Every structure is written in structure tokens, then in C-alpha cells.
Amino acid sequence: MNMNIAVAGGTGAVGRHVVDVARERGHDVRILSRAKGVDVLTGGGLDRALADVQSVVDTTNLSTTSRDASVAFFERATRMLLDAEQRAGVGHHLVLSIVGVDRAPDGYYAGKVAQEALVETGAVPWTIQRATQFHDFAAQLYVRAKLGPVHLAPRMRTQPVAAREVAERLIDSVEAGPAGRVPDLAGPREESLVEMIRAYAVATGHRGWIPAISLPGALGRAQRDGSLLATPDAVLGRQTFAEWLSALGPVRR
Ligand SMILES: NC(=O)c1ccc[n+]([C@@H]2O[C@H](COP(=O)([O-])OP(=O)(O)OC[C@H]3O[C@@H](n4cnc5c(N)ncnc54)[C@H](OP(=O)(O)O)[C@@H]3O)[C@@H](O)[C@H]2O)c1
């Protein structure tokens, strides 16, 4: 059945796949993002965008390591969305979260925990889907984790998943209706983040050695000890990191 779906963050790394998958399946899609004239923090443009919408998929994001900034963003954005959804009579709020956000003391994760809690106790029927890191995580860290000219590779056990497959799962959930907390979504196999970053670097033409580092503190321990891996009942995606990387083709530096 054709539905009207709003994708908050529909211009982002995963949100743009959610928009593509929804359209490919024949749904009408509205994108909620500042670039499209809708701000989920101020509420500007929100009521108009949600008219006649049946489901909202929230894939908004703020890149931060600050606990205060993360909690402030995800709480405000979630309250704004849920309030507007109630006014518009939206019947389903889906949010994308991250596997293990409640198992590691991380500033950014604190915002995701707060976001999940508001959705869970909110008045709009909901689904919370947690996923592991996207394959793109290796590319993001290759760019961001640097000391001067030297790229660094943090040690982490991860089971990365294709963002496109996360999007497919989210639209499956839209079509199925509100389901509460659903099983984690992870990639087909566990990988070493260090090896992922090195492989991505080689694909960009990088020649030098990329040292592995252990992040200090409880978060670094959680990344290394498997706390952020999916639970055994997780649903597994199909595309491996190596397949994702080779599908990218030559990567420009
Ligand atoms: N990256 C991962 O490995 C991973 C894994 C699992 C789950 N997740 C979750 O997936 C979600 C999306 O992550 P991502 O990496 O795809 O995000 P991203 O690429 O950083 O995209 C963020 C999106 O949010 C929108 N946005 C930000 N502030 C906004 C505002 N005030 N009003 C309206 N829209 C706003 C941005 O659009 P504008 O800039 O145009 O506003 C953009 O579309 C996050 O909640 C994250 O926790 C990520």
C-alpha cells in the first residue's frame, strides 16, 4: 500500500538511502532537513511537512563527542518531532539508533539513549531499530582520525552493515507498523576496524603505514572488548565490508 512517509535527516548518509528505498517501493516521501527548509530543532516548516503523513523515520544526526550537545540535540529534535506528529495525527515514529548505546559511557551515545527513552515513553506508536556501524564508518574515521598528517586507526570490534540494507529494514518496519524494540541489525561478519580503515586507505591510494591505537578510558575498552557487537538474535545484512569497498570503485583522496 502506498504511504506518505517523512524522513527526518533524509539528506544524510543513511537517510538518503531511506528516501531512495521508500520511493523505489512506490511511497510518497517528504524530506525533513534544513537543506529542504525544515528544522527539527526550531520546528520551522515541520507542521506543513507532516500534513497527511502516516510514518516518520528519524535519521537526523549531530556529529559531536560532547555529552551535553548530544543530549540537547536528540532530546529537542525528538520532542519537536513527536509533538508535531501528534498534532498531525502521524501513526508511527521510527528511530534509528546504534547497537550498544547503553553499554558504553560515551558522550554521543548519551544523546541516543535519551532519544530512545523519549520515543519509548512518547504518545506516538513507535519502533526503535538499532544498527551497528555502517561500512562508511571506516571512510569517516580515515578522514577524521588524524594526528597532523598521520592517519590513525582505533582498535574496535565491529560487525559493520551496509547503510542501504539499514534503509531497507527501516522501510520494512514502516510497512509492518509500530513494533516497539525490534532485533538489532548487523552486518554479515565481524571485522577489525583497524583493518577496515587500512583497506579504505589503500583504496584511496594511500601509501604510508596507518598505526593502530587504543582509545583510552571506558569507551575504548568497550570498543575493544566486544560490548558494541550485536546480540545473538540480531538480523544480519548480506553485504560484507570488502564487497562494499569494491563496489565503491576507485576512491578519490
Ligand atoms: N553512522 C553510523 O555508523 C550509524 C550507525 C547506526 C546508527 N546511526 C544513526 O543513524 C542516524 C543518521 O546518521 P548519519 O550518519 O546518516 O547522519 P548524517 O550523515 O550526519 O546526516 C544527518 C542528517 O540530519 C539532518 N539534520 C541535522 N540537523 C538537523 C536539523 N536541525 N533539522 C533537520 N534536519 C537536521 C541533516 O540534514 P541538514 O544538514 O540539511 O539539516 C542530515 O540529513 C543517527 O541518528 C545515528 O545515530 C549511525
pLDDT in tens, the chain (253 residues): 899 999 999 999 999 999 999 999 999 999 999 999 999 999 999 999 999 999 999 999 999 999 999 999 999 999 999 999 999 999 999 999 999 999 988 899 999 999 999 999 999 999 999 999 999 999 999 999 999 999 999 999 999 999 999 999 999 999 999 999 999 999 999 999 999 999 999 999 998 899 999 999 888 999 999 999 999 999 999 999 999 999 987 776 5
Check: CB of residue 127 under 8 Å from CB of residue 94: yes
Q: For position 253, what pLDDT does the model report?
A: 55
Ligand 1 centroid – CA 172 distance (Å): 20
Residues in the chain: 253
Q: For position 252, what pLDDT does the model report?
A: 61
Q: What is the CATH number of the domain that holds 126?
A: 3.40.50.720
Kindly state whether residue 253 falls inside one of the protein's structural domains: no
Which sign, positive or negative, has the C-alpha torsion 53, 117, 170, 109? positive
Cα Rg of the chain (Å, integer): 18
Kindly state whether residue 143 falls inside one of the protein's structural domains: yes
Domain holding 95, by residue range, is: 4-248
Kindly state whether residue 120 falls inside one of the protein's structural domains: yes
Q: Specify the ligand 1 atom closest to the Cα of 42.
A: 31
Nearest to 34 by CA among 68, 10, 2: 10
Kindly state whether residue 186 falls inside one of the protein's structural domains: yes
Nearest CA to ligand 1 atom 13: 61
DSSP single-letter state for residue 251: P
Ligand 1 centroid – CA 97 distance (Å): 11
Nearest CA to ligand 1 atom 34: 33
Q: Ligand 1: residues within 6 Å at CB?
A: 9, 11-15, 32-35, 38-41, 59-61, 63, 96, 98, 112, 131, 133-134, 137
Nearest to 56 by CA among 36, 75, 40, 76: 40
In angstroms, rounded to a whole number, what is the distance separating the alpha carbons of residues 42 and 54? Answer: 22
Nearest CA to ligand 1 atom 21: 12
In angstroms, rounded to a whole number, what is the distance separating the alpha carbons of residues 237 and 123? Answer: 31
Check: CB of residue 213 under 8 Å from CB of residue 194: no
Question: Cell 560532547 identifies what position?
Answer: 66
Kindly state whether residue 88 falls inside one of the protein's structural domains: yes
Kindly state whether residue 33 falls inside one of the protein's structural domains: yes
Kindly state whether residue 236 falls inside one of the protein's structural domains: yes
Ligand 1 centroid – CA 164 distance (Å): 15
To 10 degrees, what angle do helices 193-203 and 137-144 make? 80
Specify the number of domains making up the chain.
Answer: 1
In angstroms, rounded to a whole number, what is the distance separating the alpha carbons of residues 191 and 160? Answer: 7
